Amino acid sequence: MIKWLSLFTVCSILYGADYPDETKLGNELKPLLKFTVMGCGPYHPKVKKAIKQYVELDNKEKSSKFIAHLGDICSGKDAKQMHEAADGGESVFSEMRSLLYENNTIPSFFLIGDNETRDQIDSARAFSFWQKHLLEPNEVFAFKINRQKHRPENFSFVLDDVLIIGIHKIGGKDGGEAYWKETRKDAEIWIAQQFQTYPNSKAAVILAHARTSNKLHEEKIFALVESYKKPVLYINANLHKWRYLPSDGPPNYTRVQLDLIHSKSEEKKGPYYPPMQVIVTEDKETPFLFDRRLNKPEWIKAGELK
pLDDT tens column, 198-244: 999 999 999 999 998 889 999 999 999 999 999 999 999 999 999 99
194 CB-side CA count, 13 A: 31
CB 266 within 8 A of CB 42: no
CB 232 within 8 A of CB 225: yes
Q: Which residue has the higher pLDDT, 119 or 229?
A: 229
d(CA 41, CA 125): 21
d(CA 191, CA 168): 11
Residue 269: other Cβ atoms inside 10 A: 8
Averaged pLDDT score across all residues of the chain: 88
Distances in Å between the Cα of 161 and the Cα atoms of 33, 158, 195 are 8, 6, 13
Residue 26: is its pLDDT beyond 90?
A: no
The average pLDDT across 91-110 equals 94
d(CA 167, CA 50): 27
In sequence order, which residues have a C-beta less than 8 Å from that of residue 187 and are 6 or more positions away?
Answer: 154, 167, 168, 169, 208, 217, 221
What is the homologous superfamily of the domain 33-303 according to CATH?
Answer: Metallo-dependent phosphatases (3.60.21.10)
Return the closest-CA partner of residue 220 out of 174, 188, 258, 255. 188
255 beta partners: 234, 245
Residue 14: is its pLDDT beyond 70?
A: no
Distances in Å between the Cα of 115 and the Cα atoms of 26, 108, 242 are 40, 20, 20
Amino acid identity, residue 255?
A: R
**Tens digit of each residue's pLDDT (9 = 90 or more) over 78-93:** 899 988 999 999 999 9
Alpha helices in 198-228 (DSSP H): 215-228
d(CA 207, CA 142): 19
CB 15 within 8 A of CB 243: yes
Strands 243-245, 232-236: parallel, antiparallel or unpaired by DSSP? Answer: unpaired
Return the closest-CA partner of residue 36 out of 283, 299, 274, 297. 274
Phi and psi at 247, nearest 5°, equal: -125, 40
d(CA 39, CA 114): 12
In sequence order, which residues have a C-beta less than 8 Å from that of residue 151 and are 6 or more positions away?
Answer: 168, 183, 186, 190
**Tens digit of each residue's pLDDT (9 = 90 or more) over 246-269:** 877 899 999 999 999 987 555 566
d(CA 286, CA 292): 17
d(CA 107, CA 85): 31
Return the closest-CA partner of residue 299 out of 254, 258, 261. 261
Q: Any idea which of 3-12, 25-34, 183-192, 289-298 has the lowest mean pLDDT?
A: 3-12
